[in-house]
Amino acid sequence: MSSDLQDLYQEVVLEHSKRPRNFRAVPDANRQAEGYNPLCGDQLSVTVHMEGDVIRDIGFQGQGCAISRASASLMTGAVKDRTLAEAVALFEQVHALVTEGPSAVDVESLGKLAVLSGVSEFPARVKCASLAWHTLRAALEGRSTSVSTE
Amino acid sequence: MSTPGFDVRRVRADFPILHQEVRGRPLVYLDSAATGQKPQAVIDALTRFYTHDNANVHRGVHILSERATQAYEDARESVRRFINARDAKEIVFMRGTTEAINLVASTYGRKHVGPGDEVLISAMEHHSNIVPWQMVCDAVGAKLRVIPVDDRGELRMDAVDALLTERTRILAVTHVSNALGTVNPVRELVRRAHAKNIPVLLDGAQAVTHLPVDVQDLGCDFYAFSGHKLFGPTGIGVLYGRLDVLEAMPPYQGGGDMILSVTMEKTVYNRVPHRFEAGTPDMAGAVGLAAAIHYLESVGMAAIAAHDQALLTYATQALSAVPGLSLVGTASEKTGVLSFTLADVHPHDVGTILDREGVCIRTGHHCAQPLMKRFGVAATARASLAFYNTPEDVDALVRGLHKVREVFQ
């Protein structure tokens, strides 16, 4: 396998895509949004339970490729118990990581999310990696309309 | 495999784009249902037109305008011959299949489809043969009805008669499915619709590239196709309409070339086909399309169809042997389109890994979301064959699929 493919489909990515974490609807959600990628038909929903300013619980459901599932799964782990502002800041970091590559961000601070760095070598797959994040942002901002990557 | 009278190596030599390495491997192009590659003859025709003959058509008295007009109208005659229309006036140049269907929907459709009427399409249509009809139906309060598709991807012909009602104003159906490759029994559909005086539009975008097409034999009222899929330039396409039908239709867009005279009070519209070609047309595109048609005629559509069938058989067997692969669309009559899923690997991941092996396929819903829903998938991977493809291309695809299985084991 070529090295950029190895970077894209890292062990952690494959593992999260096969066994996604928090793959469920949060029962007492008070924020939620739908995300849709019209290019490929992928769709997912993100449900969040906020306590004040803090994301106490988060889940996602839907269908998508390995990259979008892994990104969504990793996202749920990364933003749980974070404040809204921290989650939005993380969104910006991940967006920079998948569009511009690891040199654009402080990779250390991203923890497990750093495995998404391989995406930047695959411009056609950036939308897969960012769908869950756009959806989360819409949920946090209380936008009820579904978000689209187009 | 080999097809008598057809030398695929000679054909490939005519397509410069095929002779390159991508990602360090020889390019394997299996996405011709999305767009076809161009033979050198088409590229040269475009260059020649712009180098020697370019001027506006139907306007000037000068030599260049004469040449450009001649080239443009000669191209119309080439298209007429290619699909065996009776009269070159039946050939309207469009931007592509999409515009051709939109023209029929918004002229013929708006004139003849009224409240409570029905438009009949099929479940395997491309969005471009769904949405224009939905727009007409929404605007006038008509109903869109749909011929269902069976599990193999064939039209349910047993359902057709009941769907052709006294309220049906037009039947619009694809000749060949872009997502499944199914060749529909369009002659029979035309026969049944015409028995009830219902006109028929055929979307021929995926058919003209694989099969000899004779519009008089098919008997359809409209036939639409795109130049770019037919190994010609982008931006040019064709609407064939039977002359009496076209002549009774109101114009599409207003502008220059589609008029005989204009005063501020009244405009007299031009004759067909010019009535439907407002503004400066894509002259170079028409010339390029004619060059593509001449090229295809020199190879021979019968030989192209035979090669397609042989390669389809080879590819169907080769793909069926890949563990976990299931073909979507197994109609008894097909062209070289292989839509498939691979175990629970998402088609996008299949496409990305194949791309790294130099193999270009299409992944997604193929602009046929209702059809994807029918088969219970959000997307498929689709390899589509053209007459320049070889068994070695199929072998490269299969090797790539084994790579996919390795990554996702």
Residues 6+ apart with CB under 8 A from B27: B17, B18, B19, B20, B21, B358, B360
The answer to the question of residue B399 being in a domain is yes
Stronger pLDDT, B369 or B100, i.e. the higher one? B100
Residue B267: pLDDT band (50, 70, 90) is confident
pLDDT > 70? residue B361: yes
Please compute the mean of the pLDDT values over residues A116-137 and round it to a whole number. Answer: 93
What count of other Cβ atoms lies within 10 Å of the Cβ of residue B276? Answer: 24
pLDDT of residue B233: 98
- Cβ-based contacts of A14 with chain B (< 8 Å): 407-408
Do the chains contact at A40 and B378, CB–CB below 8 Å? Answer: yes
Contacts of the segment B64-73: beta carbons below 8 A, 24+ positions apart:
B68/B283, B71/B283, B71/B286, B71/B287, B71/B290, B72/B281, B72/B283, B72/B286, B72/B287
Kindly provide the ipTM of the predicted complex, given to two decimals.
0.89
Do the chains contact at B352 and A40, CB–CB below 8 Å? Answer: no
pLDDT of residue A142: 83
Query: Are A13 and A66 within 8 A, CB to CB?
Result: yes
Please compute the mean of the pLDDT values over residues B380-389 and round it to a whole number. Answer: 98
Phi-psi region of B358 (alpha: psi -120 to 50; beta: other; left: phi over 0): left
Quick: pLDDT tens for B31-65. Answer: 999 999 999 999 999 999 999 999 999 877 899 99
Residues B264 and B125 in one domain: yes
- Residue B262 sits in a domain whose CATH number is 3.40.640.10
Residues B50 and B94 in one domain: yes
Cα–Cα distances in angstroms (integers) from residue B295 to residues A30, A38, B29, B92, B142, in the given order: 63, 37, 20, 21, 43
For chain A, state the CA radius of gyration: 14
Do the chains contact at B408 and A14, CB–CB below 8 Å? Answer: yes
- Tokens linked to A55: 């994301």
Quick: pLDDT tens for B138-194. Answer: 999 999 999 999 999 999 999 999 999 999 999 999 999 999 999 999 999 999 999
- Cβ-based contacts of B407 with chain A (< 8 Å): 1, 5, 9, 14
Residues within 8 A of A (CB atoms), B 167-186 only: none
Q: Give the C-alpha separation, A63 to A40, whole Å.
A: 11
Do the chains contact at B356 and A5, CB–CB below 8 Å? Answer: yes
Do the chains contact at B348 and A2, CB–CB below 8 Å? Answer: no
- Cβ-based contacts of B356 with chain A (< 8 Å): 1-2, 4-5
Quick: pLDDT tens for B83-100. Answer: 999 999 999 999 999 999
Third-level CATH fold of A3-144: Sufe protein. Chain: A (3.90.1010)
Q: What is the average pLDDT score of chain B?
A: 96
- Cβ-based contacts of B379 with chain A (< 8 Å): 40-42
Q: What is the DSSP letter of B280?
A: S
Q: Give the C-alpha separation, B192 to B111, whole Å.
A: 23
pLDDT of residue A150: 64
pLDDT of residue A145: 60
Q: Is B367 a catalytic residue?
A: yes
The answer to the question of residue B37 being in a domain is no
Residues B292 and B314 in one domain: no
Please compute the mean of the pLDDT values over residues B364-377 and round it to a whole number. Answer: 91
- Tokens linked to B401: 């699929």
> A82 phi and psi, to 5 degrees?
-100, 160
- Residue B218 in contact with partner chain A when CB distance is under 8 A: no
pLDDT > 90? residue B275: yes
- Residue B127 in contact with partner chain A when CB distance is under 8 A: no
Give how many domains chain B has, as a whole number. 2
- Tokens linked to B343: 């175990």
What count of other Cβ atoms lies within 10 Å of the Cβ of residue B188? Answer: 12
- Residue B402 in contact with partner chain A when CB distance is under 8 A: no
- Angle separating helix axes B283-299 and B40-48, nearest 10 degrees: 150
Q: Which of B97, B41, B83, B68 is nearest to B291 (CA)?
A: B41
Q: Which of A106, A110, A109 is nearest to A129 (CA)?
A: A110
Quick: pLDDT tens for B188-239. Answer: 999 999 999 999 999 999 999 999 999 999 999 999 999 999 999 999 999 9
Query: Are B32 and B337 within 8 A, CB to CB?
Result: no
Residue A61: pLDDT band (50, 70, 90) is very high
Residues 6+ apart with CB under 8 A from B7: none
Q: Which of B227, B229, B248, B222 is nearest to B91 (CA)?
A: B222
Domain ranges of chain A: 3-144
Residue B132: pLDDT band (50, 70, 90) is very high
Q: Widest CA span of chain B, in angstroms?
A: 73
Residues B288 and B268 in one domain: yes
Provide the domain limits for residue B90.
43-298
- Residue B312 sits in a domain whose CATH number is 3.90.1150.10
Query: Are B190 and B206 within 8 A, CB to CB?
Result: no
The answer to the question of residue B211 being in a domain is yes
Amino acid type, B26 = P
Do the chains contact at A41 and B352, CB–CB below 8 Å? Answer: no
pLDDT > 70? residue A140: yes
What count of other Cβ atoms lies within 10 Å of the Cβ of residue A6? Answer: 12
- Which residue of A2, A41, A67 is in closest CB contact with B365? A41
B259, β-bridge pairs: B269
Helix (H) / strand (E) element for B62: namely none
Please compute the mean of the pLDDT values over residues A35-57 and round it to a whole number. Answer: 90
pLDDT of residue B212: 97
**Displacement of CA A31 from its chain's centroid (Å):** 16
The answer to the question of residue B315 being in a domain is yes
DSSP A17-85: HHS-TT-S--TT-SEEEEEEETTTTEEEEEEEEEETTEEEEEEEEEE--HHHHHHHHHHHHHHTT-BHH
User: At which of B249, B281, B298 does a domain end?
Assistant: B298
User: At which of B298, B330, B349 does a domain end?
Assistant: B298
Interface test with A, best of B346, B369, B374 (most A CBs within 10 A): B346
Residues B238 and B168 in one domain: yes
User: At which of B260, B278, B298 does a domain end?
Assistant: B298
Instruction: Give how far B322 is from chain A: nearest CA, Å.
Output: 19
Residues B53 and B106 in one domain: yes
- Which residue of B346, B356, B407 is in closest CB contact with A65? B346
Q: Is B155 exposed, middle or buried (0-12, 13-18, 19+ CB in 10 A)?
A: buried
pLDDT > 90? residue A21: yes
Please compute the mean of the pLDDT values over residues B384-404 and round it to a whole number. Answer: 98
Residues B395 and B250 in one domain: no
Do the chains contact at A40 and B353, CB–CB below 8 Å? Answer: no
Q: Give the C-alpha separation, B355 to B346, whole Å.
A: 14
Residues B238 and B106 in one domain: yes
pLDDT > 70? residue B331: yes
What count of other Cβ atoms lies within 10 Å of the Cβ of residue A102? Answer: 16
The answer to the question of residue B196 being in a domain is yes
- Residue B364 in contact with partner chain A when CB distance is under 8 A: yes
pLDDT of residue A129: 94
pLDDT > 90? residue A2: no
Output b/e per residue, B380-407; b: 16+ Cβ within 10 A. Answer: bbbbbbbbbbbeebbebbeebbebbbeb
- Lowest-pLDDT range of B79-83, B356-360, B376-380: B376-380
Query: Are B179 and B371 within 8 A, CB to CB?
Result: yes
Please compute the mean of the pLDDT values over residues B261-276 and round it to a whole number. Answer: 91
Residues B87 and B230 in one domain: yes
Residues B393 and B250 in one domain: no
Query: Are A49 and A29 within 8 A, CB to CB?
Result: yes
**Displacement of CA B297 from its chain's centroid (Å):** 18
Instruction: Give how far A64 is from chain B: nearest CA, Å.
Output: 7
Residues 6+ apart with CB under 8 A from B191: B219
Stronger pLDDT, B370 or A3, i.e. the higher one? B370
Residue B116: pLDDT band (50, 70, 90) is very high
Q: Give the C-alpha separation, A15 to B77, whole Å.
A: 59
Residues 6+ apart with CB under 8 A from B87: B80, B243
- Residue B341 in contact with partner chain A when CB distance is under 8 A: no
Please compute the mean of the pLDDT values over residues A51-79 and round it to a whole number. Answer: 95
Q: Which residue of A has its CA nearest to B364?
A: A40
Instruction: Give how far A12 is from chain B: nearest CA, Å.
Output: 12
Interface test with A, best of B348, B359, B402, B405 (most A CBs within 10 A): B348
Collapse the DSSP code of B120 into the 3-class scheme (helix H, G, I; strand E, B; otherwise coil) and give the result: strand
Please compute the mean of the pLDDT values over residues B24-33 and round it to a whole number. Answer: 97
Residue A3: pLDDT band (50, 70, 90) is confident
Do the chains contact at B408 and A122, CB–CB below 8 Å? Answer: no
Residues B269 and B338 in one domain: no
Do the chains contact at B407 and A65, CB–CB below 8 Å? Answer: no
Residue A41: pLDDT band (50, 70, 90) is confident
pLDDT > 80? residue A1: no
Q: Which of B394, B393, B391, B404 is nearest to B341 (CA)?
A: B404
